Amino acid sequence: MLTHLECTRCGERYPADRPQTVCPKDAGVLYARYDLAAIKKSFSSARLAGRAPTMWRYDAILPEADPVTLGEGFTPMLASREFPNVFIKDEGLNPTGSFKARGLSACVTMARRFGLKKLAIPSAGNAAGALAAYCAAANLEAHIFMPKDVPSANRIECDYYGAHVTLVDGLISDCARKVAELKDYEFWKNDGWFDVSTTKEPYRVEGKKTMGYEVAEQLGWRMPQGIIYPTGGGVGLLGMWKAFEEMEALGWISSKTAGQERPKMISVQSAGCAPIVKAWDDEKTSAEMWPNATTLASGLRVPKPYADYLILDILKKSKGTAVSAADEEILEATRHWAKVEGIFAAPEGAACLVAYRKLRASGFFKPEDTVVLFNTGSGLKYLDVLDASVARTPAKPAQSAKPAARQIGGIIGPY
Ligand SMILES: [Zn+2]
């Protein structure tokens, strides 16, 4: 039922029967579009019951292809032990221990369908591990470009998955340049290479949108009043908002029905790298490059997300907001969640708790509001960051000529 791809900037349509990157006219992010009227006739939300507990249970509104799956998605929606009406969506239980599994499962599925052979990604974090795993499952080559002193978990998993890991003497931006340079060579076109960078191909958003479907289904087709989402590249935020639009077109939810209004979407970022928070506070429609980005929450170290204009538009349309959390607050929240909820979260996920507390204190959320907090990954991927015997707070860049490995890891974009 996938009909075409559509530019999110100019609305231009592109065929969905071949690999596509971004809009050739204005470099806008491309969204997959479906014949939702036809899907509405042939499929209903009631038919989800009894389907496999993975993200592919929603294959009626995903591209038609043989999925490359490791059982990703349909993660637990856990009721908070501390706050009534708060739910923690625990994405740490995905394959490779993070929400990146969803986007890369969809992306690698389509890459295999299009006959691509070698998928390249500049990443130092969980996206790299996920790409490596799904390429292993699909028998495709994963080409990971990482800074040479990346966090150990991501480097080791990529190695074990059999990915081609190129360690680059520099930052993630240098890695992105390496990938860009490859495109000048004949082999890039002839040997089936493809760049799967964040929001530079259309299908990672499709995988991530299943989080939006799950929020609705797991809450019994009632929508929460708010969703707090740690925002690096922002793919999940884009995907969930797209899912809500689709579900309304499909008649699965209605924004005119009480309890089914769209949630307020809240971006949480680290105070050490908060381009979306700054742009939101300044009432801008795009973000500026954040200088000297530093945070232990490596997935949030994105100085300027490529889809900034879409993220900010969603915050505005949903009457949401953007909140920053200091690394010290994030560390405390990570420990607090572990002790109080029994969830050993990624620091990015625990940042949601910091944001929720602030939004409760300011009156933005009331105790009776249902709010979903996204834990985007497992703390087990961050042992070198979280090991209290090594460090409680990250070193400031000024204190050492060479930043610690964890401060480099996980920057994604802009390229
Ligand atoms: Zn365009």
Q: How far is the CA of 29 from the centre of ligand 1 (A)?
A: 8
What is the per-residue pLDDT across 309-363, written as a single tens digit (0 to 9) for each?
Answer: 999 999 999 999 999 999 999 999 999 999 999 999 999 999 999 999 999 999 9
User: How many CB atoms lie under 10 A from the CB of residue 9?
Assistant: 16
Q: How far is the CA of 4 from the centre of ligand 1 (A)?
A: 14
Contact 371, 356 (CB under 8 A): yes
**pTM of the shown model:** 0.92
Contact 265, 241 (CB under 8 A): yes
Q: How far is the CA of 288 from the centre of ligand 1 (A)?
A: 21
- Local confidence pLDDT in tens for the 415 residues of the chain: 999 999 999 999 999 999 999 999 999 999 999 999 999 999 999 999 999 999 999 999 999 999 999 999 999 999 999 999 999 999 999 999 999 999 999 999 999 999 999 999 988 689 999 999 999 999 999 999 987 767 789 999 999 999 999 988 766 677 888 998 999 999 999 999 999 988 899 999 999 999 999 999 999 999 999 999 999 999 999 999 999 999 999 999 998 999 999 999 999 999 999 999 999 999 999 999 999 888 888 888 888 889 999 999 999 999 999 999 999 999 999 999 999 999 999 999 999 999 999 999 999 999 999 999 999 999 999 998 888 666 555 444 444 344 443 333 334 433 3
Q: How far is the CA of 148 from the centre of ligand 1 (A)?
A: 36
Q: How far is the CA of 200 from the centre of ligand 1 (A)?
A: 13
Q: How far is the CA of 318 from the centre of ligand 1 (A)?
A: 24
Q: How far is the CA of 197 from the centre of ligand 1 (A)?
A: 18
Calpha distance 406→414 (Å, rounded): 19
Q: How far is the CA of 6 from the centre of ligand 1 (A)?
A: 8
- DSSP structural state of residue 61: G
Q: How far is the CA of 385 from the centre of ligand 1 (A)?
A: 40
Q: How far is the CA of 299 from the centre of ligand 1 (A)?
A: 28
Q: How far is the CA of 23 from the centre of ligand 1 (A)?
A: 5
Residues paired with residue 377 on neighbouring β-strands, in sequence order: 98
Q: How far is the CA of 46 from the centre of ligand 1 (A)?
A: 36
Q: How far is the CA of 10 from the centre of ligand 1 (A)?
A: 4
Calpha distance 323→313 (Å, rounded): 16
Q: How far is the CA of 325 from the centre of ligand 1 (A)?
A: 34
Q: How far is the CA of 36 from the centre of ligand 1 (A)?
A: 22
pLDDT of residue 392: 53
Integer CA distances (angstroms), 201 to 18, 170, 175, 226, in order: 11, 25, 18, 28
Q: Single out the residue of 10, 22, 202 nearest to residue 114, CA to CA.
A: 202
DSSP-derived 3-state class of residue 63: coil
Q: How far is the CA of 8 from the centre of ligand 1 (A)?
A: 7
Q: How far is the CA of 201 from the centre of ligand 1 (A)?
A: 14
Peptide bond into 76 cis (omega under 30): no
Q: How far is the CA of 15 from the centre of ligand 1 (A)?
A: 13
SS (H, E, C) 372-400: EEEECEEHHHHHHHHCCCCCCCCCCHHHC
User: How many CB atoms lie under 10 A from the CB of residue 202?
Assistant: 25
For residue 47, give every residue at least 6 positions away whose Cβ sits within 8 Å of its Cβ, in sequence order, or none: none
Q: How far is the CA of 199 from the centre of ligand 1 (A)?
A: 14
Calpha distance 118→140 (Å, rounded): 6
**% of the chain residues with pLDDT over 70:** 92
Check the CA dihedral 131-133-136-142 and report its sign.
Answer: positive
Q: How far is the CA of 305 from the centre of ligand 1 (A)?
A: 17
Q: How far is the CA of 274 from the centre of ligand 1 (A)?
A: 27
Q: How far is the CA of 14 from the centre of ligand 1 (A)?
A: 10
Check the CA dihedral 164-170-172-174 and report its sign.
Answer: negative
Q: How far is the CA of 13 from the centre of ligand 1 (A)?
A: 8
Q: How far is the CA of 304 from the centre of ligand 1 (A)?
A: 19
Q: How far is the CA of 290 from the centre of ligand 1 (A)?
A: 25
Q: How far is the CA of 237 from the centre of ligand 1 (A)?
A: 20
